[in-house]
Structure 1
């Protein structure tokens, strides 16, 4: 595949069980002209073994971008992955988000010059996350609300994310009070725009580093579109060990500075010094 249209960046760290499920989700995509670039923030050898073992089974090219474990350095590995992307359009998601078969088709349909797309996720409890098998992904059962309810999912308004299509999903995208921000688990934009604002700010720790990228894109003149009820992925449960009051406070200070100064460029991104 010479001309890859979409590059999907998947972040991961020592979570092979979840990553395998996600990679099978991309195997079933209706949209075919894409690659997956794994942004691996220092996983041990099991992750590489999984990726090497799956490469020949999957319907798309798989690229593994790895760096040594130096604590939580997700922003740094995401920048390395951005550089590695061959597609002119980038979808960012996580190694715990299984995409519905129409996931990339939706991103492809809604992409537009001068915009980025803001998607959401459907959170699953740990017992259902564990239960989902390769077969459940390949047959689409894990996106079926009846199957999920049969396995213990409670009824809430959020279930509309899985059941809405067509005009209903467009209407819910329109009325949702949630801002169309850059969400690291489900967002997409043009590589040239992401590079123009110098990618992720590598000073940022867990919590909000994705939003800060979006804020710089806004300052650069890019607008956003809401697709959280159209581009669906199910989010597998996990612990969030890196979330500390210190990291949140540090990130909020960086984001405030970005907003107050209307900064479109970070000096702590892909390029370390602005030429």
Structure 2
């Protein structure tokens, strides 16, 4: 038995965030809380969160920081510090969940491991329709989408694929930051996300590298924890080369702990 917090990272897209939160509240097993990690959104996001919190059967906590550019590593650290759960399931505010997403992650959780999964990509047309009409999340979402294989949920195959799928060679550090889960004690061990990662990308690979260097292994959750990703414009990747360089150093130097991380907010 353990408690679960769901972290949702967001920035200035309250319409998508509304549907993301609603999909958590319709889970077959509810987490103990939802923590919104807000990287500097305008007041409209706070109003949406407050409104949903009024009728929510579980606490919804809104953690906000000033908008100083893309600082997802920092806001996730703040959310992790605020989370009360033993196990932290991490998604983004442009993700909606199949109703057994949390159930699958709970069933898949294993000590000395962290987990990552896949996502199904919605087209722009489907995204626009959903944002206008809202969601009725009873059962599976059956929309036209890319990578349909990621929509298949087969619980009896999940454990079979856990140890080897996208877990060797060039996929050794492969993760999807919008679908990850960690024991909070393991995040404390590596001091959470490295806040020197600014701009889009690689902060999730870096934390995976440092967890693995610390002896925490990766399990890939295939055929479960199904989630759907709204279409949106690609974020600026101007700092990607620098972030890749830091990620590569974490591998070569076998780094585990970062100085500027989670401990600042505990």
TM-score, structure 2 normalization: 0.90
Q: Which residue of 2 aligns with 1:114?
A: 112
User: Residues 172 and 130 of structure 1: is their aligned pair in 2 closer, same or farther, counting only changes over 3 Å?
Assistant: farther
Cα 1:170–1:90 change in 2 (3 A) is: same
> Is the alpha carbon distance of 1:264 and 1:85 closer, same or farther for their aligned partners in structure 2, counting shifts above 3 Å?
same
Unaligned runs of 5+ in 2: none
Distance between the aligned counterparts of 1:271 and 1:173, measured in 2? Answer: 31
Distance 1:39 1:126 in 2: 25
- In 2, Cα distance between equivalents of 1:227 and 1:97: 17
CA drift of 1:174 comes to 6.6
1:221-265 superposed Cα distances (whole Å, 9 cap, x missing partner): 001111032111000111233322xx1111111111111111100
Partner of 2:58: 60
Separation in structure 2 between the aligned mates of residue 166 and residue 190 of structure 1, nearest angstrom: 21
The superposition leaves residues 45-81 of structure 1 with CA deviations (integer Å, 9 ceiling, x where unpaired) of 0000101111122232100000011111111111111
Larger deviation: 22-31 or 176-185?
176-185
CA distance in 1, matches of 2:246, 2:68: 21
What is the alpha-carbon distance in structure 2 between the residues aligned to residue 138 and residue 164 of structure 1?
16
* Contact 1:4–1:86 (8 Å) recurs in 2: no
The match for 1:255 is 247
Q: For 1:147-166, list aligned pairs within 5 A.
A: 148-149=143-144, 153=145, 158-166=147-155
Deviations 1:6-50, CA, capped at 9 Å, x for gaps: 111110000011001101100111112421100000000000010
Instruction: Count residues in correspondence.
Output: 258
Calculate the TM-score normalised by the size of structure 1.
Answer: 0.87
